[in-house]
Structure 1
C-alpha cells in the first residue's frame, strides 16, 4: 500500500474532494498547512538573513523581508491506496489541481509498512511481508 500526500491551494479543496470521491476514494485526511515553494528569494533578502545568523531581524527590514518569504496557506491531503490504485489517485489529484502556474502544489507517494485499526487492534497492512 502507498500513502499519497498532496499539498494544494485552498480553493482546490472541494474540487479535489469531489474528484477523489467520484473515482472511488472517499476516505482521506485533509489538514491545514503553511509553507513555501522553490521560488528564489531576492539576493538582498538572503544577504540580510545570512547576516542575522539565518533568522529574519525583528525590525522594519525584517518585516519587509518576512513578506517576501512568508509562508503560504495550503491544504494537505493524505490518502492510503493499494499499489495498483496509485496511478489513478495521482492522476486525479494532478488533473484537478494543475493550472500551469507556480504554486499549483506538490504531491508525494510513500510506502506504507503497516496499519492498524485502533478500535479493534487489527493489523490492516503489511507491505513488508509481500
Structure 2
C-alpha cells in the first residue's frame, strides 16, 4: 500500500474530492497549508538575500512568500496508486505554475481501530 500526498490549489479541492469519490477513492484526509514553488520567487533575489545583500532582502520582502494551498493524504492499495495519481492530475492540471505536487510513499501497514483489522482490507476497494 502507498500513501499519496498531494498539494493542490484551494479552489480545486472540492473537484478533486468529487473526482476521487467517483473513481472509488472515498477516504481522504485534508489540511490547510502554506507554501511556494520556485516559480514564485526570483532565485537571483533569493541568492542575494542569502548572501546578505540588503537590496535583495528588501525586494524579496515585497514579494508574496507563501501561498495558501490544500494538502491531502490518501492511502490506497498498490493497484490503485496510478488510478489515484491520474485522477488528481486530471482535475488539477491547468498547465500553469502552482498546479501542485504529488508524492507517493510506501506504507508498511494500516489498522482499523474499531475492528483491529489490518492490511489492505482496511483501505478503499474499487
What's the CA shift for 1:63?
6.0
When normalised by structure 1's length, the TM-score is 0.79
What's the CA shift for 1:49?
3.0
Say if 1:17 and 1:110 are closer, same or farther in 2 by CA, change over 3 A: same
Distance 2:62 2:92 in 1: 25
When normalised by structure 2's length, the TM-score is 0.81
Does the 8 Å contact 1:41/1:69 carry over to 2?
no
Match of 1:94 in 2: 89
Say if 1:43 and 1:112 are closer, same or farther in 2 by CA, change over 3 A: same
The alignment partner of 1:51 has SS state of coil
Distance 1:35 1:106 in 2: 11
Distance 2:89 2:25 in 1: 15
What's the CA shift for 1:45?
4.0
Q: How many residues align?
A: 119
Match of 1:75 in 2: 70
Distance 2:29 2:102 in 1: 14
RMSD value, Cα: 2.4
Distance 1:47 1:104 in 2: 27
Unaligned runs of 5+ in 2: 121-126
Q: Pick from 107, 112, 118: which aligns with 1:124?
A: 118
